Structure 1
Amino acid sequence: MKRRMTISMAAMLLCFGMSCKKDTTPAGNQPTSTTTTTHLATEATSTFANGSDVSWVTQMEASGLKFYNSSGTQQDLFTILKGLGINAIRLRVWVNPSSGWCNTADVVAKAKRAVAAGMSVMIDFHYSDTWADPGDQNKPAAWTSYSTSTLISTVYSYTYSTLSALKSNGITPTWVQVGNETSNGMLWTDGEASLSSTNFQNFANMITNGYNAVKAVFPSAKVIVHLANGYDNTTFRWMFDGLKTYGAKYDVIGMSLYPTTSNWSTLDSECLTNMNDMVSRYGKQVMICEAGMSESAATTCKSFLSDLITKVKSVSGGNGLGVFYWEPEAYNNWQGYGSGAFDPTGKPTVALTAF
């Protein structure tokens, strides 16, 4: 369902290399920082996040789909996942989706269910009306006429408003992603990082405004900057060197990892190397925000996840925070997605026993 494309690193590096001067573009109406926090969190994370993104659940339920535990008994999805060791739920947020799914009200409803099940919550802002990923970072329709400064300030006001809705419903997220798979920025073209130093500065200001909004509502929540392809150290260094240069504020470096059945061991190892490099180079904690593998290879997927979880737990200084499986509840080729972890009868596969 999610399109993934490789960013041309040669183009990125050339563009970034053209100018590393500090741009003085203001971040809308909110304060920006000219430095980035590089110290590691001193406290250990109390609970490793065994996580799942289940943003499709309400839409699936409305379509009549049901979920069953391993014994074949129909249960609420959150109950099933809790029984499998899942202790954290990730939910994407779209600004004004045409179908209504994943808007603020839908996210609040799902987050309340997660909290009721005793799970931690991650909120994943796409800052779009639909999918945001390395090949698609389109502005919400209502924001397309905004100037760059208004766009940047709107990141603050929209983030603040959405999180305030969660807070008023008794929900306190543990983590908040400011953007989804922002391997080349977000809210294109204003925040398309590879275009110029000015655009990179715009992106950094967007991140900082998102960070400031999160901390204004939930001071203890950890703010994540999330990139695709967690094995790709070149792209990660390019992006986070740039965010450091342009003064972005954030707490955690998030990664996606979607290997094949033949290359998962290699990519897991490369991802671990990258995670340790991020901790050492930028003084940040790391997390796998998305992971997945073909649902037809459940046993291999279990091996992949077990190995990945072990590697994240081994990150230097205990700075690996967790692993989230992306939409495991999707089954019967829901929305054309083939990497769920439930079988055609709506029961979890062996893959999720890795948690």
Structure 2
Amino acid sequence: MKGIRTYGILLLVLVSADIHSQEFYFGNDLSYVNQMEDCGAVYKENNLPGDVYRIFADHGTNLVSVRLWIDPSWWQAPLVQPQDVKPYYNDLDDVKETIRRSKEEGMQVMLGVHYSDFWADPGRQLIPKRWLEAAWDHEALKDSVYHYTYRLLAGLNDEGLMPEIIKVGNETNAGILMHIPEDNGYNISETVSESWARHALLFNAAIRAIRDISTVSEIKPAIAVHFGGKLNTHGWLFRNLISNGVTDFDIMGISYYYAWHEGSISELETTIRSLRQAHPEYEAMVIETGYPWSTENFDQLGNIITNPDPGYLPVSPGKQLEYLIDYTRAVRKGGGKGVIFWEPAWVSTPCRTPWGTGSSHDHVVFFDPVNTNFMENGGGMWMQSPYYEDLETWKITFKADMSGVDVSQGVYITGTFSGDPWKLIPMTDEGEGIYSYYTYLPPGSTGGFYFLNGSGWHMKENIPTGCRLYQDSCREYSLTRDAGVYPVVWNGCSQVGDPFPGSKPVSGFEVYPNPFHHIVSLIIPVPSECVEIQVLNLHGSQIIKKAFSCLPAKIE
């Protein structure tokens, strides 16, 4: 008996330690999936029906996020749904199904408890109807939060469904459980309190319940707190939370969507690093993000993510993937713990939301809108480990200007840069005759490459002798800076490692604003020299070429 007791204690310690030592979370929010399947969606891969949870697990997802509403029945039930579709979802029974199916596929779970019957967000934190009588009694409301949270997790634990992470609230910038809903549940009738002393009381009640159940559960859930908003607000938000006495949590979670919060991927990296440096006792994660692969709306319900990052144009499945890889690399380099993509499976179906029939995410999901087939060339591949094996690598982008060339059989690149040297790799059509391919290589890498206008070796470009710099047979690349974009004309003789042959490297080069539309200021520390400026558009095509003898200067 003594040996058995010792083994049990060791098992508990190992499970708990494993949760907090997870290297990085590649997460996807699958809160809509069960409903979409009931509404008729058949998820496919390689045009064959498959288990959607397995599809995500097979492509590298190790964390599934799911939201929980306390009692959504009273506002969901009146929505007219197709026959045989349940009247409401994201209640406890639905969440249990998501947790069970996720764990069966080997994925961990983050349970986001909204502490609301409806969506909670920075502008709306509706108190559940069942707790309205306690809305003005802070102590009574605190007790309701504690007992609800404890019973919820005790029940999940009894069924072997304890999540690995519990998120207390959702985008709680202004507070939690602070608004009285109107009768229809969607809008705010009255604000109970904006006091952070009150909010802290409620946060700590939920946190204490999680810690208390952890004393008897095998899985010890990590606790996340979640804010949304512009990147420069998160430092203050977490300082405010902590200064008001909410300290016993594990993860600082943020939402960052370019479409709503602007900023940039480099600023995201800085934000994550700053949060970790200011609060090293906590992990930092992006708990919500999303990015489109199309600007088209494929059903009658309006799209909600419509503004793409100008550095990742044109909008396409390939650019969605590129954006998410760069995004995730930035979070990891900043010291972040994970990234969660919001609703990559909310496909269009005949089912209704409060805003209409269909999906507001059909241009964002990882499945095509016609066959619900997983898109191998899109953002669903962002979790693949090779993209993150070496964060010290630099990004290099090859672009081929195929204007006037027959590209009916596709455009390909091959070279020494891939793990399988000289493999033919299809390039992405960016429009206007430009095709691109990007990868990540160690700084200073050199090698050879060339383009093909088809998948046969006989379709190789005819490279002029003057630019056969690699072993006298093909083009040469030399990676001398991060995020280098090197445009090359098909059958032309541009130097890939230096897009402007004959130019002198200049340090301290500044452009403001960047990107620019009409007027730009260029500050170049090269006194008493003539400087030639060449401006390329986002496709790599030259649009301006002008010499200056006096700097700084402006180009219009």
Q: TM-score, normalised by structure 2?
A: 0.52
Aligned to 2:407: none
Aligned to 2:473: none
2:92 counterpart (99, 104, 107): 104
Aligned to 2:487: none
Paired residue type of 2:97 = A
- Residue 322 (structure 1) aligned with residue 338 (structure 2): yes
Would you say the 8 A contact 2:179–2:192 is kept in 1? no
- Residue 59 (structure 1) aligned with residue 87 (structure 2): no
How far 1:315 moved relative to its partner? Answer: 2.4
CA displacement, residues 253-292 of structure 1 (integer Å, 9 cap, x when unaligned): 001121149x97x522222211111111122210111110
Paired residue type of 1:354 = W
Q: Choose between structure 1 and 2: higher strand proportion.
A: 2
How far 1:196 moved relative to its partner? Answer: 11
Partner secondary structure for residue 124 of structure 1: strand
Q: 2:168 & 2:249 partners in 1: Cα distance? A: 9
> Which segments of structure 1 move beyond 4 Å, counting only runs of 4 or more?
195-198
1:216 counterpart (212, 219, 238): 212
CA displacement, residues 56-89 of structure 1 (integer Å, 9 cap, x when unaligned): 11111111111001x1110111011111111110
Q: 2:70 & 2:346 partners in 1: Cα distance? A: 23
Q: Choose between structure 1 and 2: higher helix proportion.
A: 1
Paired residue type of 1:287 = M
Q: 1:162 & 1:295 partners in 2: Cα distance? A: 37
CA displacement, residues 165-219 of structure 1 (integer Å, 9 cap, x when unaligned): 21111123221100001111111149x9xx9997101111222111111122235
Partner secondary structure for residue 154 of structure 1: helix
Partner secondary structure for residue 58 of structure 1: helix
Aligned to 1:140: 128
The equivalences for 1:193-208 within 5 A come to: 199-208=195-204
Q: 1:308 & 1:66 partners in 2: Cα distance? A: 30
Partner secondary structure for residue 255 of structure 1: strand
Paired residue type of 2:379 = A
Aligned to 2:176: 186
- Residue 306 (structure 1) aligned with residue 332 (structure 2): no
How far 1:336 moved relative to its partner? Answer: 2.8
- Residue 82 (structure 1) aligned with residue 98 (structure 2): no
Taking structure 1 as reference, are residues 152 and 44 closer, same or farther at Cα in structure 2, changes over 3 Å only? closer
Paired residue type of 1:183 = N
Paired residue type of 2:317 = A
Deviates more, 1:89-98 or 1:181-190: 181-190
CA displacement, residues 133-182 of structure 1 (integer Å, 9 cap, x when unaligned): 11211111111121222112212111112112211111232211000011
Paired residue type of 1:222 = A
How far 1:232 moved relative to its partner? Answer: 2.1
The equivalences for 1:1-355 within 5 A come to: 45-69=21-45, 71-98=46-73, 99=76, 100-146=88-134, 147-189=137-179, 199-218=195-214, 220-229=220-229, 231-233=230-232, 235-248=233-246, 249-260=248-259, 266-283=263-280, 284-296=282-294, 297-316=316-335, 320-332=336-348, 334-338=358-362, 339-344=364-369, 345-349=371-375, 350-355=378-383
Aligned residues: 304
CA RMSD of aligned residues (A): 2.6
The alignment-based identity, stated in percent, is 29
Paired residue type of 2:368 = D
Paired residue type of 2:225 = V
Taking structure 1 as reference, are residues 240 and 111 closer, same or farther at Cα in structure 2, changes over 3 Å only? same
Paired residue type of 1:269 = S
Q: TM-score, normalised by structure 1?
A: 0.79
Q: 2:318 & 2:104 partners in 1: Cα distance? A: 31
Q: 2:131 & 2:285 partners in 1: Cα distance? A: 30
Would you say the 8 A contact 2:20–2:222 is kept in 1? no
Q: Which runs of 5+ in 2 are unaligned?
A: 1-16, 77-87, 181-187, 295-315, 350-357, 384-556
Paired residue type of 1:247 = G
Would you say the 8 A contact 1:93–1:107 is kept in 2? yes
Q: 2:192 & 2:69 partners in 1: Cα distance? A: 27
Paired residue type of 1:289 = I
How far 1:332 moved relative to its partner? Answer: 2.8
Deviates more, 1:289-298 or 1:78-87: 289-298
Taking structure 1 as reference, are residues 252 and 44 closer, same or farther at Cα in structure 2, changes over 3 Å only? closer
Taking structure 1 as reference, are residues 197 and 126 closer, same or farther at Cα in structure 2, changes over 3 Å only? closer
Would you say the 8 A contact 1:97–1:103 is kept in 2? yes
Q: 1:83 & 1:130 partners in 2: Cα distance? A: 32
Taking structure 1 as reference, are residues 180 and 198 closer, same or farther at Cα in structure 2, changes over 3 Å only? closer
